[in-house]
Structure 1
Amino acid sequence: MPGLVHVVDDDDSFRTAIARRLKLAGYDVATYASAQDLLDAAPDDARPACILLDVRIPGLSGPDLQTRLIASGSTLPIIFLTGHADTPTTVQAIKAGAEDFLTKPISSEQLIDAIERALARHDTARAQRGRLESFRAHLATLTQRERQVFDLIVRGRINKQIAHELGTSERTVKAHRHQVMDKMQVHSLAELVSIAERLGIIDANDR
């Protein structure tokens, strides 16, 4: 999978060697001598990408950068590289969501495997986020009454119950229900319930 790899390491020769290795493998590469350089560049997640991050770098450390990126809402997977395996640091980084923790020197095969996993995970996360944004956009097109009908439908209410709760006729509810299905671009109640769950509008206990 082609993608972009952000390499953060204060060792010039290591950055150069890694960048050359990754470019030969078909990746685009951006290199940074410090964590702050990466933050200043503010990399986005418009395409599959990951960060190859040294643990011990002057200034902001690798784990500190991880914390900053998480706080900023970044979804870029992080692969840590270290010359000194340190179990507490490894555990902390993995718990915080690091994709992998590799020890230098690293074989090309091991490095590429880790990058492929990270890029695949990022691509999946981007696709899921895109779908959620699409669902939210559809939801925003509902009128106030359609939204009320939506909320009751996904909680398992039948048309007669909805009509009673909203003080209207079943015929009107059916018309609203049709509009809801049309605007949300779904063909079944199951799809509508799934969207409501994914948007956090309901959970399994609400039904």
Structure 2
Amino acid sequence: MNDVMPVVFVVDDDISVRESLELLIRFAGWQPRLFESAQAFLDEPRPHAPSCLVLDINLPDLNGLDLQRSIATARHTLPIIFITGYGDIPLTVRALKAGAVEFLTKPFNDEVLLEAMTEALQGSRAALAEEQQLDSLRQTYRTLTPREQEIMASVVRGRLNKLIAADLNISEITVKAHRGKVMRKMKARSLAELVKMAALITDPD
């Protein structure tokens, strides 16, 4: 992930803003992707790279706040930096409460924007790494047999081996054997670590 060039998306209907930001982004060593509308951005495939979005509040189709809301779940690893032609405290509060990392009023200082983009890309890189780790954990979990998944579910609930054996109508020795396989396959070094893994796997977010 560290070797992948970060991507900075810009959504602004003002071509002069897009052009100036393209130069700034390239100067910083990142890849710019420019859009004049929210819909054009939504049609763009999600890159598997650290990325952030520089987003104008006022757009001709879907406004910036609506776009922020529409991608909140699908693109949760994409930090948003809002830019606007006028200061509006209620809008700023709404954007920041919804997770925006910065809200800048045009004309903004290039250094301030560069700093905001740098922090946003660092946050995106960390979120992608966490997402990748979770995907790997779920793939590992799927290698467990149905019986091993049953045993794991009982173990993380704090059930003792003898109680699990009674629940499943199998011997305690068999429970211990399955439990050992679960620990090895999941690469869990302790029960506490297995419990944390289980919580991540079953977390709806």
TM over 0.5: same fold?
A: yes
Q: Match of 2:75, as an amino acid?
A: S
Aligned-partner Cα distance in 2 for 1:194–1:45: 29
Deviation at 1:94, TM superposition (A): 1.4
Q: Match of 2:133, as an amino acid?
A: R
* SS of equivalent residue, structure 1 residue 101: strand
Corresponding residue to 1:10 among 6, 10, 13: 13
Q: Deviations 1:116-135 (Å, cap 9, x if unpaired)?
A: 11111111111111121112
Aligned-partner Cα distance in 1 for 2:47–2:100: 16
Aligned-partner Cα distance in 1 for 2:130–2:92: 28
Unaligned runs of 5+ in 1: 202-207
1:193 corresponding residue in structure 2: 195
Corresponding residue to 2:39 among 36, 41, 45: 36
Deviation at 1:13, TM superposition (A): 1.3
* 1:22 maps onto 2:25 in alignment: yes
Q: Match of 2:125, as an amino acid?
A: D
Corresponding residue to 2:151 among 146, 149, 163: 149
Aligned-partner Cα distance in 1 for 2:13–2:114: 21
1:51 corresponding residue in structure 2: 53
2:62 corresponding residue in structure 1: 60
Deviation at 1:161, TM superposition (A): 2.3
Deviation at 1:10, TM superposition (A): 1.2
Q: Match of 1:13, as an amino acid?
A: S
Q: Deviations 1:81-129 (Å, cap 9, x if unpaired)?
A: 0111111111111122212111111112211111111111111111111
Corresponding residue to 2:120 among 115, 118, 125: 118
Aligned-partner Cα distance in 2 for 1:45–1:158: 45
TM-score by length of 1: 0.89
Q: Match of 2:126, as an amino acid?
A: T
CA RMSD of aligned residues (A): 1.6
* 1:180 maps onto 2:182 in alignment: yes
Deviation at 1:177, TM superposition (A): 0.7
- Identical counterparts, % of pairs: 45
Instruction: Give 4+ residue runs of structure 1 displaced > 3 Å after superposition.
Output: none
TM-score by length of 2: 0.90
2:138 corresponding residue in structure 1: 136
Aligned-partner Cα distance in 2 for 1:150–1:45: 35
Unaligned runs of 5+ in 2: none
Q: Deviations 1:123-149 (Å, cap 9, x if unpaired)?
A: 111111112111211111222211111
1:205 corresponding residue in structure 2: none
